Structure 1
């Protein structure tokens, strides 16, 4: 699934709590988006070729699609302010559960560089949303 640090120390405990919060927030937003889309398709006559897909359970697999669905303006703004590489690291870790080691090899960075980028994005998102994670 995804890697959690050892949970020793205040910063690791805080990071684990925030990561859990973020994963559940993304999952809830995805479920809300899919539910709204299904309700809209049930009520409306579709004429747009993109909406005529017969896919049973469409998912959000592309991080840019997820960004389009986020209603929270502060979160959207925070995610748009970070670099593309950092955003890729963040979404790969949160949505796909990829390890820092995998991402380091793919991006030709060190393990610590990927971990630092991920935690930097988490900190910016936390500051933008104003949510104090325990």
Structure 2
């Protein structure tokens, strides 16, 4: 059993938002990654792909996820399962949002037409 206290979580800030790693291979040795995403109002994340399925549950606020060209409006209490290798972009609503996200450990991100993949620090 591994216990990860709030004080031991890892916070990563990007221009799009703040990801707080709750569990991952380097944060408790988990085989899955679990993190909280917080985005300020009307912020738009980058267009990207993840090579693994992700599950997002929205705890507060609202957002739109554009997934392979389809816009999915999401609000507090909604859960969405994003398939692997689908092009996505997350846009926060007028009040921002907080969500909990999970994906397999080691999931890699890339950009459409990009040549390389990286493991985001909140998944590592």
Which one has the largest radius of gyration?
1
TM-score with structure 1 length normalisation?
0.22
Is the strand fraction higher in 1 or 2? 2
Taking structure 2 as the reference length, the TM-score comes to: 0.23
Question: Which has the bigger relative contact order, CA under 8 A and spacing at least 6?
Answer: 1
